[in-house]
């Protein structure tokens, strides 16, 4: 039986009890409010205790919260789009036909079963044919993929020994640069391989068994022996990997290596053959994002046996395509990654996964229809209005800082002036004209999409920097700040309940989507974004004294989060989550200021007996409601740059305005003396 541990001892003491507000409050979950919990002891449970008790995590989920609630509506819309395309597929070569063919091929398990392993066999044969180190380098280069998430550089997952990314150059913002990153692991993070605890040892035992089962299903000889070799090699790779907090730091990643110097800096690997096969031989320099890891992996490519590398590459290829191989592969992959690693008891229905896979593969083709059908112009206008108010509030906060020198303030305000905020969808829709999607070929379609995305990403190296490019599709419930570009994207799907509702009180919207907007604006000024100037150059634009003050404040926030223990044996890593924690704090602060400014001196209207301030702070706490299965919570603590939702809600303890609203006083668990409250922006 999985024991759910969402809250630490700090948050686990509230008994089941009557709720504060049984009557409806439009736009707020009144039934979630639990006044048997003191707001000053546990504000998350005060705002969400009723929701925690009545909510069960769906069997096909490892966690569940506000983002999933919003995603359910977005997913229903995407399902209508995809099912509609399947029913009326349109003309050959159209995006509607591509959507229809991708979805129907993924759903056609009979065709997948009939093909067996024939789809993947040519790839396995090409791996088996690797006869020397140069051939190994050519294979690795030819199968380099653009599978890096620019939002979470610290949690890269790639089947290739190296990850690939194209980014605006941090030294020359008008140019793109190619970047190589650490790769080669199937489990989520180095700690899954290196942590000596009995719990992680059990995970590794299960993983080794899983690897052997996947190889056996594919008909690979000596599966047990090769599974031992694969896990041993991945463990050595993990030993070279950087930690999440280091991988997220652009100053540590900004290492330009001349292409010709890779052989000197990372010996043991046939770099020339690799770059030629990857189509990167025309690049004079390439970013080595985690240089010591790249050196270490290159050394392993040269020192570990070809047999071990070929076994690893074969297993990774099989794992990567498990969902479009016969059902036994799909079930076994879920049994380990979905159940053992994440805790979900059941796999989602094939149709739901087919819809998701189609939306992932053809994201902007689906997204274009999404905004046409479900994103009215009024929603975009409302968001733009809130963005303008929050940016103005942020500027006023910069003006009011008594510790920041005028020269630093001028640079900070220049960043705000050049901030580009895109709402809903991109101005120009990407084209899928060069992508062939074939009916009844689920494996081939997945392979062609992966190759298409790589070629599209690589092609940027020969194009001017496009600040209008989106890294999220409109149907994603998320938002992003790209600090190097000073660009924000707010997809259409996040502009809906529980984050935003045009019919509810402004205080609730500012506490919800307003805090999210403020969060993303603030990323331009967190511990990572603050390293970039208004043009996207990685340079220190601070006075020495100002930067020392800024760092002291951010480290105080890191220590605050270090003290939270979501699991008895695991705490939040405040350095790993620091940039997101800064953005949460600065974001809710700017959103609160913007809401107050929007009142123009008038009192806020009470709703359901709640003051405007109560509406604001409760709405903020309710957008972070999340329940976890224990393996999923552990995985987030180890790999995610965000603190788990219940602890993100607690940043209100740093806002002076929160204290009188809920009567928080000395002696309460969350109370901080005024001098101990973290104030950054």
- CB-CB contact of 185 with 157 (8 Å): yes
CA 217 to chain centre: 32
Residues 6 or more apart from 118 whose CB is under 8 A from it?
A: none
Q: Per-residue pLDDT tens for 307-327?
A: 999 999 999 999 999 999 999
Q: Please state, as a whole number, how many other Cβ atoms lie within 10 Å of the Cβ of residue 281.
A: 13
Strands (E), 599-656: 626-628
CATH topology of domain 129-320: Neutral endopeptidase; domain 2 (1.10.1380)
Looking at domain 1-56+386-419+497-681, its CATH class is alpha beta
Rg (CA), the chain: 25
Q: What stretches in the chain show pLDDT beneath 70?
A: 1-23, 148-157
Question: Could you count the other beta carbons within 10 Å of the beta carbon of residue 93?
Answer: 12
What is 512-523 written as a DSSP string?
Answer: IIIHHHHHHHHG
Which spans in 220-287 are helix H?
A: 223-240, 244-247, 250-253, 262-265, 271-278
> 82: how many CB neighbours lie within 10 A of its CB?
26
Residue environment code for 59-74, b if the CB has 16+ CB neighbours within 10 A, otherwise e: eebbbbbbbbbbbeeb
In tens, the pLDDT along 558-586 reads: 999 999 999 999 999 999 999 999 999 99
Q: Which residue has the tokens 């000197």?
A: 264
Q: Measure the CA–CA gap between 474 and 496, rounded to whole angstroms.
A: 12
| Residue 195 φ then ψ, to 5° | -65, 125
Residues 578, 580, 586, 589, Cα dihedral to 10°? -120
How many residues are present in the chain?
A: 681
Alpha-carbon distance of 561 to 37, in angstroms, equals 21
Residue 145 CB coordination number (10 Å): 19
Q: How many CA atoms lie within 13 A of 599 on its CB side?
A: 16
Domain-wise residue ranges, the chain: 1-56+386-419+497-681, 129-320
Domains 1-56+386-419+497-681 and 129-320 share a fold: no
């Amino acid at each position: 039986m999985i024991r759910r541990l969402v809250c630490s001892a700090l948050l686990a003491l509230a008994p089941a009890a009557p709720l504060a507000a049984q009557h409806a409050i439009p736009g707020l979950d009144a039934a979630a409010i639990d006044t048997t919990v003191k707001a000053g002891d546990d504000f998350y449970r005060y705002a969400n205790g009723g929701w925690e008790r009545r909510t069960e995590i769906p069997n096909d989920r490892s966690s569940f919260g506000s983002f999933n609630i919003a995603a359910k509506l977005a997913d229903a819309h995407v399902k209508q789009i995809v099912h509609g395309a399947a029913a009326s597929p349109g003309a050959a070569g159209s995006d509607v036909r591509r959507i229809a063919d991708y979805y129907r091929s993924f759903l056609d398990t009979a065709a997948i079963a009939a093909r067996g392993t024939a789809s993947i066999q040519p790839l396995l044969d090409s791996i088996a044919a690797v006869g020397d180190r140069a051939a190994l380098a050519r294979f690795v280069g030819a199968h380099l993929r653009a599978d890096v998430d620019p939002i979470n550089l610290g949690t890269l997952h790639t089947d290739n020994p190296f990850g690939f990314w194209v980014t605006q150059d941090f030294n020359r913002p008008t140019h793109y640069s190619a970047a190589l990153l650490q790769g080669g692991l199937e489990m989520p993070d180095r700690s899954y391989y290196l942590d000596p605890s009995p719990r992680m040892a059990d995970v590794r035992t299960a993983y080794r068994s899983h690897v052997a089962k996947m190889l056996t299903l594919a008909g690979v000889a000596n599966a047990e022996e090769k599974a031992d070799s694969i896990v041993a090699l991945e463990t050595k790779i993990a030993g070279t990997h950087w930690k999440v907090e280091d991988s997220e730091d652009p100053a540590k990643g900004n290492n330009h290596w001349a292409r010709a110097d890779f052989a000197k800096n990372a010996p043991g690997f046939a770099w020339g053959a690799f770059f030629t096969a990857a189509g990167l031989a025309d690049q004079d320099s390439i970013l080595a994002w985690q240089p010591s890891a790249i050196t270490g992996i290159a050394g392993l490519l040269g020192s570990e046996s070809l047999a071990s590398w070929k076994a690893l590459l074969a297993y990774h290829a099989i794992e990567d395509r498990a969902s479009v191989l016969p059902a036994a592969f799909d079930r076994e992959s879920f049994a380990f990654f979905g159940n053992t690693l994440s805790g979900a008891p059941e796999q989602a229905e094939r149709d739901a996964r087919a819809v998701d896979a189609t939306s992932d593969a053809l994201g902007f083709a689906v997204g274009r229809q999404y905004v046409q059908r479900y994103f009215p112009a009024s929603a975009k206008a409302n968001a733009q209005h809130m963005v303008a108010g929050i940016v103005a509030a942020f500027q006023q906060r910069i003006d009011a800082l008594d510790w920041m020198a005028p020269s630093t303030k001028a640079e900070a305000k220049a960043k705000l002036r050049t901030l580009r905020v895109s709402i809903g969808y991109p101005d120009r829709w990407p084209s899928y004209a060069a992508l062939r999607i074939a009916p009844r070929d689920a494996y081939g379609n997945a392979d062609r999409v992966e190759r298409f995305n790589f070629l599209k990403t690589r092609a940027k190296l020969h194009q001017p920097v496009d600040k209008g490019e989106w890294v999220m599709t409109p149907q994603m419930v998320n938002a992003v700040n790209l600090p190097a570009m000073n660009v924000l994207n707010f997809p259409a799907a996040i502009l809906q309940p529980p984050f935003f509702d045009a019919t509810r009180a402004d205080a609730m919207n500012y506490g919800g989507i307003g805090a999210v907007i403020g969060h993303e604006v603030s990323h331009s000024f967190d511990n990572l974004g603050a390293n970039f100037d208004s043009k996207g150059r990685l340079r220190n634009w601070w006075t020495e004294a100002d930067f020392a003050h800024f760092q002291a404040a951010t480290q105080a926030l890191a220590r605050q989060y270090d003290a939270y223990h979501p699991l008895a044996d695991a705490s939040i890593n405040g350095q790993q989550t620091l940039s997101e924690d800064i953005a949460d704090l600065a974001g809710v602060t700017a959103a609160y200021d913007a809401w107050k400014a929007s009142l123009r001196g008038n009192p806020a209207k009470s709703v359901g007996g709640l003051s405007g301030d109560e509406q604001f702070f409760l709405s903020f706490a309710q957008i972070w409601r999340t329940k976890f299965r224990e393996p999923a919570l552990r995985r987030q603590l180890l790999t995610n740059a965000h603190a788990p939702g219940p602890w993100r809600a607690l940043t209100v303890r740093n806002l002076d305005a929160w204290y009188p609203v809920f009567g928080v006083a000395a002696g309460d668990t969350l109370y901080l003396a005024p001098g101990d409250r973290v104030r950054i922006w």
